[in-house]
Amino acid sequence: MKKTLKFWILIAVGVLSIALTSCENYPEGVLSFYSSEYRIVNTWQVSHVYLNGEEVDSTGYAAYDVGAYYIMYPDHVMAVRALRNGEWRETIFANYILDAKKKTIDMKFTLMDQNYIILGDIKRLSRKEFFFEFDDRYGDHWRLELFARTNY
């Protein structure tokens, strides 16, 4: 009886250790059994924007404004929608590259005749929250906090 119990405890510990080492975690994230590629696919809305450590409501960049949408598709295609002067504008072509090992995301898109190249560090990525930080070409440090609008 004791040998059987020890055997099952050993099996349980082994399975648990394999499961936990295959999970992904981000600096501000929670442990997840879903892959980053699965979690990133969603419709995200910008809820908080920080510029050089201070929260801002309006940025002068449509893609960074509170209320903008980032729609991430499974095939590394994305769309960005932003409200300007009462009209919704959307990217024509946009893509992203997610590197789960380095915990980075690279996004490239054009919105309202402005080119965006974001080389971001992912700080949190769950099914409901997506936080990332990056430095722009002028040396400003940005942090965008996005929350899920859908649950795929």
Express each pLDDT in 96-127 by its tens digit. 999 989 999 999 999 999 999 999 999 999 99
Per-residue model confidence as pLDDT tens digits over 34-72: 888 989 999 999 999 999 999 998 888 999 999 999 999
Percent of the chain with pLDDT over 70: 78
Categorize the per-residue pLDDT at 1 as very low, low, confident or very high, splitting at 50, 70 and 90: low
**Residue 22: which pLDDT band, with cuts at 50, 70 and 90?**
very low
In this predicted structure, what is the pLDDT of residue 20? 43
pTM of the model as a whole = 0.80
Structure-block tokens of residue 23: 């999970």
Q: How far, in Å, are 8, 33, 63, 107 from residue 80 at the CA level?
A: 50, 28, 7, 10
Q: CATH code for 34-148?
A: 2.40.128.280
More confident residue, 25 or 103: 103
The full set of domain ranges for the chain reads: 34-148
Higher pLDDT, 23 or 110: 110
Compute the distance between CA of residue 66 and CA of residue 69 in angstroms, rounded to an integer. 9
pLDDT higher than threshold 80 for residue 2: no
Maximum alpha-carbon separation in the chain:
74
Q: What is the rounded average pLDDT for all residues in the chain?
A: 86
Sign of CA dihedral 40, 145, 120, 79: positive
